[in-house]
Structures are given as C-alpha cells and as structure tokens.
Chain A
C-alpha cells in the first residue's frame, strides 16, 4: 500500500502518516516550505515502516501537484491512499477581510483538494481501488465567526467529498471526510487561555483531542474494513458538533 498525506510533516498530518505507516503502508508526506520538518517526519516514518519520503509541493499550485504525483507514479506506479490534510487558516471578520486572505484559504484548502484528488484518481482508477480521505473541520458543519473563508473552504471540501464518493464508487474508490475538533498541536499551544476555556466549555468530553485520535479514524477509513463506507464524515471532536 502506498499513501500520501498532504501537509503530513507536522501535527495531525504527521500523526496520520505514522498511523498509515503502522498499518503497513509506504507513506509519502508533503510539505510546502519547512524542509527540516520534512526530514524529521521521514526519520519518524522510517523508524516505523522502513520507508518515508517527504515531497515539497504547494498543493494550490497545479504544476507542483503534477510534479509530486509524477514522482510517486515513477517510484511506485500506484497510489492507494490520499489524505488531503494540507490546510491553513487566515481568520478575520468578513467585513474587514483582506481579499488575499479569502483567496489564499480557498486556494490551499479547497483548490488543493481538487488538484490532488484529480491527480490521485489517475493512479487509483487503474487499480480498481483506492481511498481518499479529506480532513475538514467543525467550522464546515457549524460555522464560526471570523472563519468565513475557512468554513467556506472546508464546507466546499465536505460537499466535494459527497459528490466524488458517488462519482467513483463503482471504481472501488471510497471518499470520506474526517472532521477533527480542537486537537492538541503546535497551534493550540499558542492559543490564549480565554479561547481555550471557551472551547473546553463547548466540548462535551471536556478536553482537547490528541492527533493520534484523529489518525485512528483516518487509518480506519483507509483500511479494508471500511470498504463499505463512502461519502461519510467522521467527527473526532469530543462531541463538539
């Protein structure tokens, strides 16, 4: 099994990549700029499965994406699992939002899923099988003030997931989404205490999640056992939504 996790060198993405590797997959992780994190991720992957490869590509750039998939095709000739995890936030109230912040979030979070899924299908269709798992957000399901750009991008990915699932089901390819709530990563460490408290008050399980808890859901959806699940969303959010 060959897997690719976009934005897979840190945080949730890295946890997903490691979980796939533990499940026996040879995993490629993608990053856009932090080469050192790429190298660290490769070492961690190699320690788990003996294989790890980091590929630099901006998922919102079709030429970068083409290059990344050509590399995987050349080295492996196939791709079994694509996890569209790469994403970013540029929060701001809509009335004052910079157009560039709107565009950037849509380009990476939504267009990136389009470019990568499209390229991945060429490597999956011939195999009569494949798994695409898109990482979305409670923001797509509930909305969140200050996140019109982010929630629109993730809501787009949610609908994309549903449509593509119907489109490629007959080819043995499943397409699902995982929606992580507030997960302990580098991002939450820098979060103001007030915001942490606000979030904890909204989470029935009363704590933030661990990256591994998200990775488990992705790993399950990528497995043989999940072969009858498609177009589905699994929330890993402590009950938030």
Chain B
C-alpha cells in the first residue's frame, strides 16, 4: 500500500518537475524504463529529478551507478526511496580525494 502511494507521488513529481504537459501521471507505467524510453526523457532530465527526489525524500543519489539503478523505472525509484529514506544517506558530493587525474 505504502509503495502504491509512493509510486503515485513519484509519477506526479515527474510530470510536474519535468513539465510534461502532455503526459498524465497515471499514464506513466511503473515498471517501464524511465529515461531513454517512451516518455522521451534523457539524462539531463534525470538531473532535475535527482535533485527533486533528494529534496523531497531526504535521500542521496551519490553517483551515476546508484542513479542508474534508482532511476531505472518508477518502481525501482520507489524501492530505492523506501530502502534509503531517513536512513544513512551518504553525502558524497566529491568522490575520492585521490590525486589520480589521469
């Protein structure tokens, strides 16, 4: 039940944040590929969604590996949020302090 609510919230968030004027929230298939799929969303749209989801749910998407997993579909995003909400979200904004620039 909780997850269904989350899925609905996320579909609304996607439509409003990405200004998808001709898409209805319920028209977004929860299991469908979110970016690079039928919605015509790309990786730049994903950046906006990353920031919105982080702000709304207090989670952190530290890098693209996590991002790919979390943003695979609305279902995947809901699962990711459920697992990390209020948890030990990392605040890695920089990556390793290594001097390896090669």
Contacts and interface: CB of A to CB of B under 8 A. Distances in A.
Interface string B75-94: 00000000000000001111
A126 B51 contact: yes
A192 B88 CA distance: 55
A61 B101 contact: no
Interface string A114-127: 01001101100110
A171 B94 contact: no
B47 A125 contact: yes
Nearest to A167: B44
Interface residues of A, number: 24
A101 to B, nearest CB: 12
Contacts of B38: none
Interface in A40-86: 60-63, 65-66, 69-70
A170 interface: yes
B47 A121 contact: yes
Question: Chain A interface secondary structure, helix, strand, loop or mixed?
Answer: helix
Contact of A106 (B47, B93, B95, B101): B101
A115 B93 contact: yes
B47 A70 contact: no
A98 interface: no
B55 interface: yes
Nearest to A100: B99
B97 to A, nearest CB: 5
B68 to A, nearest CB: 17
11 contacts: A62-B95, A66-B93, A111-B101, A115-B93, A119-B93, A121-B47, A122-B51, A125-B47, A126-B51, A126-B52, A171-B44
Interface of B: 44, 47-48, 50-52, 54-55, 91-97, 99, 101
